[in-house]
Structure 1
Amino acid sequence: MVVAIGLAVYTGFRAPSAWTATLHSVSVTDGFRRRVLVGTLLRPLALATDYDYWVFAGWSFLVSAAVLGVVVGVYLRTGSASVRLLIVGWLLLPTGGYFFHEVGYYDHVLYLLLFAALWLLHRNRVVLAVAVMTLSVLAHEITVLTVLPIFAMVALWRLAFWRALAALAPPALVTGAVLLAVAPAAPGATGRLAATVAQADFPYRPDALALFNRTQSQSWQLYSVSKVLLYLAPFLTIAVVAFLVLRLVGDALTVNVSRPPLALVHGVIAAAAITMPATLAFAGWDKDRWGFLLVTNLVVVLVLHLRHTGRELTPPQVAVLVAAMLLITHLPLSYFDGYAPRPLHWTAIRQFLSEVVHGHVFVIPTR
């Protein structure tokens, strides 16, 4: 586990980007209506420090450390070799490096809120769990296509069918309101915030704030949805085929239900939880990020199944899983802003160690 984390950190780590810091400065009090949770929480500190970069970077490190803490905690507490294989595999895949590449970004916030909601649901704190998932929509509206399906899957395991549907309604309705009934920002909001963060100690990203000035149809004119879908097709194919074959060749992922029709419902929702990130091709051009989410959702769904059933993967299932992971290693994830995964050779390792020793790895990124 330690080696896997070390390799993932080495491969992808960089300080939180100026793009992340810019987006984390967006708050509801500044006239924004989407992706406002983090910025609204941080606004008092941001105002007190004149939008110091380390307010946003510190938050980013805290969030990513919390997510990693959950992952490590599951690894250490579980008695399942299959769960440990999934966690170590995820870290060794390109997803591990990508996780440390996007320190503190929205994806980390969403997974942290999901884990909190699942913890509450496990303790039968349903109302609080639903409140957390509803808040996650205010962190980013892609909640409905990423972590909400996973929450739905677990809710159907633990709650009666109609009660589970009722639990899913608030975050779904808030998502609809955010996407359809509310403009991303009030008139002039981006300009006012741009004038403020332009005086900050990091090179704020005007293109990040420009996201709030475009409609979805205007965004579609900036990229090709079909090309993003084609890029995601291998990720989607491997994830779907692996999940289906894993269910067919053993019972480790089979959830016991009182009525046979519910077994089909559980299977369909689990498959949806894995595949829904592919529909993010219609939300934006971050194809590598969507690939990361697709693979990560696959791993999270499998881990939750194994923890729920208490079973181990059979040898044929392990073979299928390892084969799927080997295929995923051939689907490299490109990084943001021209960065790239660090190659595993001595010159690059020595340079990285030098950056760590001299603190350069924590310098505010200029791109």
Structure 2
Amino acid sequence: MDSVTQFALGSVIGVATLGRRIGPRKAAITGGLVATLPDMDVFLPAADPVTAFVTHRGFSHSLIVHSVAAPLLGLGIGRLFTGLRDAPRWLPIGAVWLMLVTHALLDAFTVYGTKLLWPLTDYPFGLGSVFIIDPLYTLPLLAVTLWALLQGDWGRRIGRAASIGIVVSSMYLGWSVLAQQLMRDKIAAVLEGQGVTAEKLLVTPMPFNTVLWKGIALDGDRYVNVYSSLFDGPDARDIHVHARQLSLAAALPDTGAVDAVARFSKGFYALSFADLGDGNGDILLRDLRMGATPNYVFTFKIAKSEAGAVRPSGPVKLNRVVEEGALPWLWTRIFDQQATRKETSLHHAYIGQGEGENRAVAQ
């Protein structure tokens, strides 16, 4: 989840566990800072953008690492605040453990992938039932956090608010799992009705809500996007078929980037050729789970074709180009089944990074 949400969740846990002894303001700040620690891995150096992508939410998000780190951090916090010096040692240790593991577990509700059991396995767990930014989850926690930051002394009301904030946000996560299963069944029926046999099916919410969902079905060398709302009727309309162009990998001098993204995305990836004219072009690699055709959050240029020869290029992460009217469409589509999404896999503009200039290309 986003940094604001993780800070707010840690703050509320801090208030609920430590607020009575050190005050709600100090507890909120302490909880928020501790809960932010796992995301400090973004500052670690990486060989290239693909490596940075697949190693984020790695060891720093491991429940095993958190269980080892919690006693060290907890005892340090216990000595830092006078209100905790006569408290049982398990109290600050347990509080820190909760601040850390809830960060990782919350991340695992998103689709990105979180290596919860590193080093036993580097499998990236990702339920995909909530979008990385979801105001309905965050706002109750943020409200309690802001109240605690303005509250100098402990009181029963702030303690009760912290407990309610945790319960309400947890119930929302439970709802997201239920909604995901309902939409999975609904989208699977749509695909069956269209004669699509999905080798794999991923159903994940569109941005900022748990009402409008996207299904991604893998069917050989093509993928099928299905957009469906909880309010949709039985008629299937919002269906889009695209080529994955996996055969492009055969021309690559090195498939390391493709293999890494294929493994991390659990197979939900695609290749494409961006034609620059005169027979030249770029080979692009996309993670299909985050974003929507043709605008994916994680798109990498991995090779360049010139005069019939393919050579490595990068990998370079490309800026996402969000089409005009995307947010208004999102709100309209939640309630209006007729407002189908326009997806084009051709003539898509992107902006290259690290190449000295920005340019539009045809995909």
| Alignment TM-score, normalising by the size of structure 1 | 0.31
Kindly name which structure, 1 or 2, has the bigger radius of gyration based on alpha carbons.
Answer: 2
The structure carrying a bigger strand percent of its residues is 2
Answer 1 or 2: higher relative contact order, Cα 8 Å, separation at least 6: 1
The structure carrying a bigger helix percent of its residues is 1
